[in-house]
Every structure is written in structure tokens, then in C-alpha cells.
Amino acid sequence: MAEATVRAVNATGVAIDWERAELNAEIIARSGQVLPSHVIDSLESTRTGLKGPVTTPIAGGFPSVNVALRKRLDLYANVRPVRGLPGLKTRFDDVTIDMIIFRENTEDLYSGLEHEVVKDVVTSLKVITRTASLRIAHQAFKYAKTNGRHKVTAVHKANIMKLADGLFLRCCREVAELYPQIEYQELIVDNASMQLVIRPESFDILLLPNLYGDIVSDLAAGLVGGLGVVPGANIGERHAVFEAVHGSAPDIAGKGIANPTALMLSAVMMLTHLREKGAADRLLAAIEAVYAEKKHLTADVGGAAGTNEFTGAVVSKLQG
């Protein structure tokens, strides 16, 4: 998928000097590091990365590469646009889904502070800080103002976690007061999940702590066709890493059938971040044109094409 995306980006005509940094489970095992020095050195140099999925072992093995990157580079804002693609049939064809999820990316239960008190009794600490909560809230409201968005919904569980989620909410309210032109709403996370399924068109920007953001963003992706068509960005003060929302799929590796749409759409976000808006718009238009035609789509979205055929169709639109 990464190779396909590089090919599509290059076809826009934008001049990018790609620096390749290989990372997979084998490299991690061989180096004994989740983030080997060649990966960090590259990102320190370029400050911008387009990242393919890396498998994270479940209930053992090495820690998540994504979490490690976010902590190491302080990529505190996870930004995930969720919108429908033309021609892609979903249960919500009669409404327009166009929301952006802002997820705090560095703390909460993802701090990884776990402890086995006694055998079979484990505690896991949820960390919420004023600093992290304020800066993700500022990101969300600033984006809303800059991009003509009208509503920000803070999602929480402060009725139960009154201190932790209560602090997050207080920070969101504090920032909301600085943007009186933006409508501000609060929803408990379980209610927000139900509302997303019932009336997804009512949401604009969602603002969430780390764990809720992870879960809700995947739920939202399901509304528009699945994880294979939703992009993502991890943004900090100095660095930005763009990646598909979905994880790895080792069962289909090397078969040439993976759908690169999510990573290509992440590249659209990357080009916008690099102030190559023209190239970003061309790439997005090409992807949408291929979906609208429905002739060269991969199996996960109802087609029969492989990775190369889909990519070729996108490139053809860019060069046509």
C-alpha cells in the first residue's frame, strides 16, 4: 500500500524527495527496539512521515509502534476525517456524513501504566492532564474556525470518572469560550456512540480523550464503508505522521489485493500539511473519480480489482 501511495502522489506532479525507512516485526525483533534509530533519525530529519501499518502483537510481544511514535515525537493530535466516497454504497446513502475526529493521542489509558497488584488482580492507570486536554481542544476549535466548521462535540464519561473526564471537560469548556462563533456540545460516550449510528449527519467535529477517540473513530469509519477508506494524521508541534486508520493484514500480505485508499487519503492530508494544496486536491479528485466509476475497486468495497489495478486507475485520472 505504501508503494501504491507513493506512486499516486508522484503522479500529481508534486516534487517530493522520499526517504524510505523500513520497519516491521522482523526488524523490531532483530534490533530489540520498537523504534530503531534509523526510523527516528529519518523522522527527525524530515519531520513528516507517511507510515504503512505495522502489526502489533496482542497480549504480549513488543509494544505498539503507533503508541511509541506518538509518545516519542509528542504527536498529540490524532485527526481522522470521516466522509463518504462517491459510488460507495453504505447504509447511510440518504444522508451526508462529513465529520472530523480529534483524539488526544498521548495519555489516558494508553499511558501503559499497568501493575499486577497480586495474582490475577491488575490495575491500569488512566492519565488525564490539563496540558494535553487544552492543546487537543485548541486544535479542534482552531480547525473548526479555519475551515468553516460550525460545531464541536466533546465526548466523555464524566458522570462516572468525575475527576479524570471532568478535567478533560473543564478544559474543553475553557477553550470553547474563546470561540463563541462555534457551537459547543457535550455527550456521554455511550450516548454519542448511539447517536452516531442513528443520525451521523448531525456531527461535525468530535473531540475526545485517547481511548474513546480510538473506539469512536473506528465506529465512525464503519458508517462510510470501513477502515479501508478512512485516513488519519498524528500531529505534534514539530512532527507529523500520516497513516491509514486500519491496522496490518498479514494474511493478505504479498497477494496484491489490499486496498490502498486509506493510505492515499492520508497522503492527501500530508500534502495539505506540506502546503501542497493543489496536489492534494488533484489526488483526492482522482480517488473520488475512480470510486464514482466503480470499475476498478478492490474486493473489500465491492469490486474485483487488485492493488495495482486500482492504483493504475488513480494514476490514469491524474495523468489524463
State yes or no: is 190 an active-site residue: yes
Q: Is 93 a catalytic residue?
A: no
Residue 71 CA to residue 149 CA, distance in Å, equals 29
Task: Give how far Cα 161 sits from Cα of 111, 164, 189, 281, Å.
Answer: 17, 6, 12, 42
Question: Does the annotation count 218 as an active-site position?
Answer: no
Alpha-carbon span 94 to 97, nearest angstrom: 10
Pairwise CA distance, residues 314 & 320, whole Å: 10
Catalytic residue among 51, 71, 76, 110: 110
List 154's β-bridge partners, or say none: 186, 207
C-alpha 211/C-alpha 198 separation (Å) is 22
Secondary structure of residue 176 in the 3-state scheme: helix
> Please, which residues have CB within 8 angstroms of residue 177's CB and are 6 or more apart in sequence?
none
The SS3 assignment for 190 reads helix
Catalytic residue (one of 162, 190, 255, 277): 190
Amino acid at 138: H
CB 318 within 8 A of CB 11: yes
Q: Identify the active-site residue in 51, 157, 212, 300.
A: 157
The DSSP bridge pattern shows strands 183-188 and 151-156 to be parallel
CB distance 65 to 84 below 8 Å: no
Q: Which of 214, 291, 300, 317 is catalytic?
A: 214
214 among known catalytic residues: yes
Residue 261 φ then ψ, to 5°: -55, -50
Are 156 and 186 in contact, with CB atoms under 8 Å apart?
Answer: yes
DSSP codes, 234-248: EE-SS-EEEEESS--
Active centre residues (catalytic): 110, 157, 190, 214
